[in-house]
Amino acid sequence: MLPLRVLFFTVLVPCTVVGWVPWFWIIGPARVRSGWPPSGPGALAFIPLALGVAIYVACAWRFAVEGLGTPAPWDPPRRLVTGGLFRWTRNPFYVGIVTILLAEAALISSGAMAWYAAGVAIAFHLRVILHEEPALRRSFGAEFEKYVREVPRWVPGVGRRRAKSEERSAT
């Protein structure tokens, strides 16, 4: 029933962050109806919206197949997930969610929504450095440390270059 557990978490947490909270506390139904559907350049925001959703789905799939778990803190992967998008950044789930939020802000031309996206990004960063990474170090030890050296936390490519340059200087 792993797919159902992943679906349950997705509806409970990410859908709340990208859907329920913005809808009920930031955007409001009247605001969306007045400017919906977007046209012109604003409609281009559907591209990063679709990209963010695709990132989330790919990561959830990877957690289930490779990690044998879910993104839920109460049902984490049993194995360290390093394949797929996790080869490029250690936190593609969060990158996907923030991408969705920024796309939503662009779709409805909402500064408040953009600020919310920034706040969520900061909250994700704090969660990663204060909770997730220490927990992963305890759970996966040397395997996680090697992963940290090879894959950047947020920006793809940065950590790989650093790790390769350190390897070259060590030889």
| Better-scored residue on pLDDT, 4 or 89 | 89
Give the residue numbers spanning the domain of 133. Answer: 2-170
pLDDT-derived band at 32 (thresholds 50, 70, 90) equals: low
| Whether 96 contacts 52, CB under 8 Å | yes
Task: Assign residue 108 the CATH number of its domain.
Answer: 1.20.120.1630
Rounded CA gap, 46 and 44, in Å?
Answer: 5
pLDDT-derived band at 162 (thresholds 50, 70, 90) equals: low
pTM: 0.85
In this prediction, residue 158 carries a pLDDT of 66
| Whether 69 contacts 131, CB under 8 Å | no
| Better-scored residue on pLDDT, 99 or 106 | 99
* Residue 169 predicted with pLDDT over 60: no
* Residue 164 predicted with pLDDT over 60: no
155 three-state secondary structure = coil
Rounded CA gap, 80 and 135, in Å?
Answer: 12
Mean pLDDT value across the chain: 86
Residue % of the chain over a pLDDT of 90: 53
* Residue 33 predicted with pLDDT over 80: no
Dihedral pair phi/psi, residue 82, rounded to 5°: -130, 0
Say how many residues make up the chain: 171
Rounded CA gap, 108 and 106, in Å?
Answer: 5
Angle made by CA atoms 43, 104, 44, in degrees to the nearest 5? 20
In this prediction, residue 81 carries a pLDDT of 96
In this prediction, residue 78 carries a pLDDT of 93
Domain count of the fold of the chain: 1
28 three-state secondary structure = coil
Rounded CA gap, 57 and 65, in Å?
Answer: 12
